[in-house]
Amino acid sequence: MTNGRTIGLIGGGSWGTALANLLGNAGHRVRIWDLNEELLADMERDRENKRYLPGVAICDNVTVAHRLADALDGAGLALFAVPAQHFRSAISSALPFMRQDAILVNVAKGIEQGSLMTISQIAAERAPTCAYAVLSGPSHAEEVGANMPTTVAVASADIRVAEQVQDIFMTDRFRIYTNTDVIGLELGGSLKNIIALGAGISDGMGFGDNTKAALMTRGMAEMVRLGVRMGAHAETFSGLSGIGDLIVTCTSMHSRNRRCGILIGEGMDPKEATAKVGMVVEGMYTAEAAYDLSRRFDIEIPITESICKVIKGELDAKEALTALMGRPKRHEREA
């Protein structure tokens, strides 16, 4: 493992804080910055992110930067842990302070609404000189913060970049596999949040394991269908960023997407449910973007479409269930 790197981290949420600690404990110097100055002040005073990752002490190698320029000064790696819908503004703000040869690592999971671009596509447009890598997989911040064994994947178009990130992040409790299928890794991490919303809705409606298993299995079929159409490798969805992340997000109460879905399934308005969760629920944004992409590529993703319509108030959960169960008969390998 390579120690002693200087890392600028943008985003002081639960996942950013957990990764800052992981990297700091591995011997790297991490400077963490966030738009919320009050959050930064609290973290600096308490040496803990009580708002988003309570109970996890911030290690000595992690320092709070009150200016974005200070966080990125001399950093060979810029780690972006901001919600997907905010990545464009974050990279635009950070770019003047980033080294041209810096590695840009993204850990957000989502598709930008409107443009329907993935994070790697935004990065290629805004920061074309930076090497890009995406880190994704079944990795709740609460468990990584507690140093529980976790395994994820990192993808970059240049395998040497993926291997550098693997060396920097990998510890005896955080194992990383490399990949070159950037779009596959990104879409696996993004699209599974939609299915987790559906799994939560099912739980909230009082349904059982049969229903959730069906949603997860047919949801994965939709993820592969859209992913392959967008240039991903089908095999990637069988890995950590696909089925691995789908399992953990659909079954755990750590998952904000599942928790939000449960509230919707119990009858709460989707906007109210999102507010009650208290953190960004990426699936709420990604569902609409994925549905728009399916229409662009002329493919069927009926579970995603139904969840999107529930979120937008066009259907209630019972109507969506009836529509899905009443679809025409199909062969299992058909849409």
Residue type, 179: N
Which residues sit opposite 153 in a β-bridge? 136, 177
Strands 77-80 and 62-64: unpaired
Active-site entry in 109, 192, 212, 309: 192
**What number of CA atoms fall less than 13 Å from residue 195's CA on the CB side?**
30
E-state strands within 200-276: none
Q: Is 298 left (phi over 0), alpha (psi -120 to 50) or beta?
A: left
- How many CB atoms within 10 Å of residue 89? 12
Paired tokens of 129: 């000189």
Catalytic (active site) residue 50: no
Distance CA 221, CA 223 (A): 5
Paired tokens of 192: 């599974």
Query: Interior CA angle at 223 toward 103 and 185, to 5°?
Result: 15
Please check whether residue 185 is in contact with residue 134, taking contact to mean a CB–CB distance below 8 angstroms. yes
Paired tokens of 191: 């699209």
Q: Which residues are catalytic?
A: 192
